[in-house]
A and B are shown apart, each in its own frame.
Chain A
């Protein structure tokens, strides 16, 4: 494949994921409204929000470091677009890709939160500084359980480190005890990665005024909005690819895939709507002493299941 083909795939995947992500943002808000017995926003709401933000004035705080402040959201968006391109090509054409692209995806998924921290620190606002420190602790909390959950899927599919073969291995990691545990851990980590309640301490709009995003307005805020929409589309896709068999090229494959996708998004929304915000120390304790040991147990179970050739373990 030549360079133009790769760039074409990148742009197509980015645009498609953006559209899906904006749709999912609306879906999320509509489900929230239904949970709260409200009517909710119309279907074009995220599009109107983004367009409006593009037309608004971009204010720069006097204390901000301009370059880092403005460029950080764009790098975060580009990183999530790259993840989207790799995941979609693994889902649609499982034979492409390279050994270890799962590791690359997991590392690229770290870039958007890191860029959030960078932008928040560059804004020079005390609220953003508190938010950035919380975001840092949040990353430290959820990354270890997230890696352990991915490791379970890798062990269950005979130490495959490539996304396409994991999705089409014939062994669906979810249909086993260790797989279910890993999926639960991955869903919790996804909730934290998306910065949704109960893990939204970094933006906490009523205590630190949107924390990491407090100084953003206009176009950079629109790019943050797009980046978050894209992450909302990418994370369920990663979970389905790794744990739930990806997209099967059969007649029922596509409806099943869409069903799984929406199920995961509804799960995120329902967790968001039925939980209060946790303090950052509670989150760290939860992930390190609650979820991480569970992840180690799941890895051990998966390894034993592999060693003794027990399919359901």
Chain B
């Protein structure tokens, strides 16, 4: 088990899901790959398909259109996996909370598929890359408890 935890913590592959974000959080996610922050130091890389992913980096307020797609992406991700709700919108729908076109919110949508899903919230509009790295570290700690 120790080996499993070690391997899971040291190699988190991130898939980026946009559920109706304004692109600001997405730019900050890309910031993580730049020389200044370089998350590959921790073995994290961005992958192109949810089938390869361990972390779903979800940005955006989860619109009604995006909600079933987000749930499908979560179903397509091999478990164990972690959902990172990046930004105020992904955390609690931000300023769009009572708009007519909103879905249930990222955490509610994911919990509807899998009640035991691990969800890490990263507040901020947009959150700083440092905050995302801190969230990734917390996600690693959560994976330890699996």
Contacts and interface: CB of A to CB of B under 8 A. Distances in A.
Interface of A: 29, 33, 36-42, 44-45, 48-49, 51-52, 54-59, 205-206, 209-210, 213-218, 221
A38 B38 contact: yes
B41 interface: yes
A38 B40 contact: yes
7 contacts: A40-B40, A48-B11, A52-B54, A205-B48, A209-B49, A210-B52, A218-B78
B50 to A, nearest CB: 9
Contacts of A45: 10-11, 43
A39 B78 CA distance: 29
Interface string B3-24: 1101110110000000000000
A221 B116 CA distance: 25
Contacts of B3: 51
B11 to A, nearest CB: 4
A120 to B, nearest CB: 13
Nearest to B1: A55
B75 to A, nearest CB: 9
Given A29-B40, A33-B40, 13 more contacts: A33-B38, A38-B38, A38-B40, A42-B41, A44-B10, A45-B10, A48-B6, A48-B43, A52-B10, A55-B8, A216-B52, A217-B52, A218-B78
Contacts of B8: 52, 55
B76 interface: yes
B97 interface: no
A57 B48 contact: no
B111 interface: no
Given A55-B4, A209-B49, A49 B38 contact: no
Contacts of B115: none
Nearest to B41: A39
A276 to B, nearest CB: 17
B130 to A, nearest CB: 16
B35 A38 contact: yes
B10 A48 contact: yes
A63 B76 CA distance: 14
B36 to A, nearest CB: 9
A58 B78 CA distance: 7
B79 A57 contact: yes
Q: Which 4 A-B pairs have the closest CB atoms?
A: A205-B48, A51-B7, A48-B10, A57-B78
Contact of A59 (B41, B54, B76, B80): B76
B27 interface: no
A41 B35 CA distance: 12
B51 A49 contact: no
Interface string B47-88: 111011010000000000000000000001011100000000
Contact of A209 (B35, B48, B79, B80): B48
A213 B53 CA distance: 13
A41 B40 contact: yes
A5 to B, nearest CB: 33
Nearest to B36: A38
A214 B49 contact: yes
A36 B35 contact: yes
B20 to A, nearest CB: 20
Looking at B6, B8, B43, B80, which has the most chain A CB atoms within 10 Å of its CB?
Answer: B43
A52 B78 contact: no
A215 B78 CA distance: 11
Contacts of B6: 48, 51
Contacts of B4: 51, 55
Nearest to B53: A217
Nearest to B5: A55
A184 B101 CA distance: 57
A42 B43 contact: yes
Nearest to B44: A41
Contact of A221 (B38, B52, B80): B52
A41 B136 CA distance: 16
B78 A56 contact: yes
A206 B46 CA distance: 10
A29 B41 CA distance: 11
Nearest to A208: B48
Contacts of B41: 38-42
